[in-house]
Amino acid sequence: MGEEQKTPLQSSLRVQELIYGLKISEVMTKKVFAVSRNCTMRDVQQIMKNNGITGVPVVDSKRVVGFVSMNDLMNALEQGDMGDGVTSHMSGEVQTLAEEMPLSFAISAFNKFSFRSFPVVNKKNELAGILTFRNINLALIRELSRQLREMENQHSAVPETESMDLVKVYQLHRYDFENGGKASSEIKKFLKARGFHAKLVRRVAVASYELEINLVAHSIGGMLSFDINADRVKISSHDRGPGIADVEQALTEGYSTANEWIRSQGFGAGMGLPNVKRVSDEFAIQSAVGMGTMIRAVINLKPEKQNED
Amino acid sequence: MKISDIQSLDQFTCVQSEYADAEVSSGYTSDLLSDVMAHADEGSVLITIQAHKNTVAVSSLAGVVAIIICNNRPIADDVLEAAASEGIAIFQTAENQFQTSSLIAQHLAGCPAA
C-alpha cells in the first residue's frame, strides 16, 4: 500500500486543509480602528501611531467607503497636507473580504492585490474586522500546535483496520482528466468493503466524482477531502479559483461554462453541481471570483437520517 | 442476459474480455458522462461513442458492467487497460447508438431468466 510514503504528503495537505477550514471571522482582528469621512489625516496618523497599525478603514454608518494606508499617509505628510480630510487621500475603491469566507479566499486576495490588510465585512456589509498577514500567521501557528497536541494524544490509540473513520485528502490539478476519478474510486471501495448499501455508496460516488471532475475541468487546481465516520461522509472541495460569478446559475441543470475540449471529454453538460446537490443530505457552496470556491456535501450513513434519493 | 451473450452477437467485437461474466440487467445510452453517472443502473451495459478513460471511470463508479462503443470509434490502449483492471467488458460495433440500443433491448426482453 505504500502507507508510510503517503504520510508526509497527507500531513502537508492537512496544513492546506487548515486554511480552507478556518473562516476569516475566526482569524481577523475584531477590534478595528476606523475613522469617519470628516476626520483628518492627522487623526489617522495618531491612530496608527498609538495602536501600531498600518492601515485604517474609513466608514460611513458602518459601511467601508475608503481605506488609508501607510503609503497614503506618507504622501500626505510629504505634501504637508496632514490637515486635509481623509477623503482626499484615501483609496476609494476598497477590496473587502466577507467574514464567512474561508481563509483560503483571503490568501488568494493577498496574492492578487498588493494590499497589506483587508477590511472584513459582515453579511450586512458593515465593517466587522480587519485581516493582515500577521493574523494569518498567528492563526496557523495556533491551529497547527493544537493539531499537534491532538495527534500526540491520539498516538496511544491503536488504529483498527476495520475502523469506519477515514480522513483523506486528494490534490487535483487542472485538466488532469487522467487522474480524475481516482479519489472517488478509492472512497467507493472503502465504503463497499465496509458493507454499505450499494445505493448509498453510489450517492457518495456521484457527489465525489462530480466534485473531482469539477476541480479538474473548471478550477486552476484544488483539493478534495473526505472525512468519514460511522454517521456520515463529509466531502469538501476547495479550489484556488477562478471562482463562480453566479452560483445560482451554476446550480441550474443544463448551465455550463465548459469549453469544447471539456465537452469532448463527455463533461460540461451542466449536470455536475445539480447532481452533487441531489445526492447530498447537506449541501453548501461558497464562491468569490478571483478567490476560489468551497463546496461541502454531506451524505448520512445512518438509515434514519437519509434523504430519499 | 449475460455479458457473454453480447459477445456471442455478430454485431459486436469484444476488445476487452477480462471480465467476470455478470448478469446484464439493463442498458443505458448516453455520451454525457455526468448523465451516465447520475442515471445508469448498477449492472447495466453502457452504449456510447465516448471512448476514453473517463468512460471507464464513470462506468466503474456507476456499476456499469460492460461498455459498447458505437460507430467503430477507435479505442486507445490505456482505455482497455483501465477497463481490464476494473473488470469491465468493452465491445466495439459498426452500428450506431440507436441500432445498438434496439438490439440490446430485444435481447434483454427476450431473456426471461434475467
> Tens digit of pLDDT for each residue in A32-42?
999 999 999 99
Same domain, A184 and A129: no
pTM given for the model: 0.76
Q: Assign residue A133 the CATH number of its domain.
A: 3.10.580.10
Residues A168 and A75 in one domain: no
The verdict on A177 and A261 lying in the same domain is yes
Q: For the packed helices A3-21 and A103-112, what is the interaxial angle rounded to 10 degrees?
A: 80
Shared domain check, A118 and A208:
no
Interface contact A178, partner B, CB < 8 A? yes
What does the pLDDT look like over A235-291, one tens digit per residue?
Answer: 999 998 899 999 999 999 889 988 888 888 888 888 899 999 999 999 999 999 988
B-chain residues near A192 (CB < 8 A) = none
Q: Is A146 part of a structural domain of the chain?
A: no
Residues of A in contact with B97 (CB under 8 A): none
In this structure, is the dihedral angle defined by the CA atoms of residues B44, B45, B50 and B52, taken in order, positive or negative?
positive
Q: What is the pLDDT of residue A231?
A: 93
Same domain, A20 and A117: yes
Residue A123 lies in a domain: yes
Same domain, A124 and A244: no
Distance CA B34, CA A240 (A): 23
Q: Which domain holds residue A236?
A: 163-305
Residues A187 and A82 in one domain: no
Count chain A–chain B contacts defined by CB atoms under 8 A. 65
The CATH number of residue A171's host domain is 3.30.565.10
Chain B residues in contact with A178 by the CB 8 A cut-off are: 53
Residue A296 · residue A110 · CB < 8 Å: no
> Contact A271/B38, CB-based, under 8 Å?
yes
Q: Is residue A265 less than 8 Å (CB to CB) from chain B?
A: yes
DSSP letters spanning A224-254:
EEEEE-SSEEEEEEEE-S---S-HHHHTSTT
Which of A198, A202, A266 shows the shortest C-beta gap to B33?
A266
Cross-chain residue pair B61–A206, CB shorter than 8 Å: yes
pLDDT in tens, B17-68: 999 999 999 999 999 998 999 899 999 999 999 998 999 999 999 999 999 9
Chain A positions touching B33 (Cβ under 8 A) are 213, 265-267
CATH class, B3-109 region:
alpha beta
